[in-house]
Amino acid sequence: MSAPARFTPARRHVLIGAAGLAGFGGIAAFCASAASRGLTLRTRAGLAFGTTVALTAAGPDGSAVEDALSDGFATMRAVEAAASLFLADSALARLNRDGILEAPDPHLVALLRFALALADETCGAFDPTVQPLWPVWAGAAARGERPGAGALRAALAQVGWRRVHLGTDRIVLEPGTALTLNALIQGYAADQVMAALRARGIGDAFVDTGEFGASGSHPDGTPWRLGLADPRDPAVVATVIAPFAGFAATSGDYAMRFSDDRTDHHIFDPATGRSPPGLASVTVTAPTGLLADGLSTACMVLGRARGADLVAAHPGCAARFTGKV
């Protein structure tokens, strides 16, 4: 096996009609379009959740727009502090380290409650306790190898969502259990950021937390559009969601991978400890970012037919599947 192409997150989407895309005139053209409608447009970018993030908002009061963006970034920092594995001192990192967490952060409780409910609904196809598989795969890939059967069996012995005991005042993990909420945190953050913008009276907004949310309209008054990357050439737009409103999340075999051929990647089947073989990517649109994010990961594990049934059981959701090529 060749060494992994990369371990850092890759952008999984190409945004059509949001700030920064040169082919649509860039930020100056966006600001001019907004001004023609009596709106002030602002875009603010940064780093969060181990990737680039950006918030775009427009409103009649420029100072209120700036305050809304500040609130949005503060919200992302709060979600990171609760549940990001990129922060060594996050509440989730401390829970994994100590096996118990008293008075857990409400963001962590909300994320974990959803994760456990989705694990139950999918009979464990989605499982937030797959974290013990990560160091096994990362270590093997760094040596140019795949994990042996014994190493996978040992890690899988520590995987199982029923090993998590969640209460409002305490979270307890059974010995050896470790959690990851990376399959949910960016979608959840999109929800929280959009709520923060709405609280400031912002109606036209585009949120990119690594997953996407949109409300209102593009600065020129037309609906937002979202371009989805070709999983085999992420610089190419494979399809466009138009109009785009609500939330969208994509899971794929190319964002973080352990092998150049994308056979082994960061999404694990909890039943086998290996990556599911059937799909290159799944994009789910949903009323909330949290639901879109969780369903997209679950669909990667379940495959096209069972994944479609799962999504159909959730009103207002739709999925786009791309098979391996």
**Dihedral, CA atoms, 259, 260, 263, 267, nearest 10 degrees?**
60
* Residue 9, Cβ density class (10 Å: 0-12 exposed, 13-18 middle, ≥19 buried): middle
Determine, yes or no, domain membership for 145: no
Determine, yes or no, domain membership for 224: yes
Q: Which of 6, 81, 15 is nearest to 49 (CA)?
A: 81
In the chain, pLDDT over 90 holds for what percent of residues? 79
Determine, yes or no, domain membership for 260: yes
Domain membership of residue 23 as a residue range: 13-69+184-323
**Tell me: the pLDDT tens digits for 119-135?**
999 999 999 999 999 99
Task: Determine how many CB atoms are found less than 10 A away from the CB of residue 150.
Answer: 8
Determine, yes or no, domain membership for 172: no
pLDDT band with cut points at 50, 70 and 90 for residue 27: low
Token digits for 217? 């309209």
- Rounded to whole angstroms, how far apart are CA atoms 237 and 186? 22
- Rounded to whole angstroms, how far apart are CA atoms 143 and 161? 30
What's the total number of domains in the chain? 1
Determine, yes or no, domain membership for 6: no
Q: What SS3 state is found at 279?
A: strand
Determine, yes or no, domain membership for 193: yes
Determine, yes or no, domain membership for 50: yes
Q: Which of 55, 13, 106 is nearest to 209 (CA)?
A: 55
How is residue 163 annotated by DSSP?
Answer: G
pTM, to two decimals: 0.92
Determine, yes or no, domain membership for 88: no
Per-residue pLDDT at 40: 81
- Contact at 8 Å (CB) between 259 and 1? yes
- Rounded to whole angstroms, how far apart are CA atoms 87 and 93? 7
Range with the poorest average pLDDT among 87-96, 126-135, 208-217, 228-237: 228-237
**Tell me: the pLDDT tens digits for 67-106?**
999 999 999 999 999 999 999 999 999 999 999 999 999 9
Pairing of strands 212-215, 246-252: antiparallel
Per-residue pLDDT at 39: 78
Helix axes 62-83, 91-98, angle to 10 degrees: 0
In the chain, pLDDT over 70 holds for what percent of residues? 91
CATH value at residue 20: 3.10.520.10
Mean pLDDT of 169-179: 97
- Rounded to whole angstroms, how far apart are CA atoms 285 and 49? 21
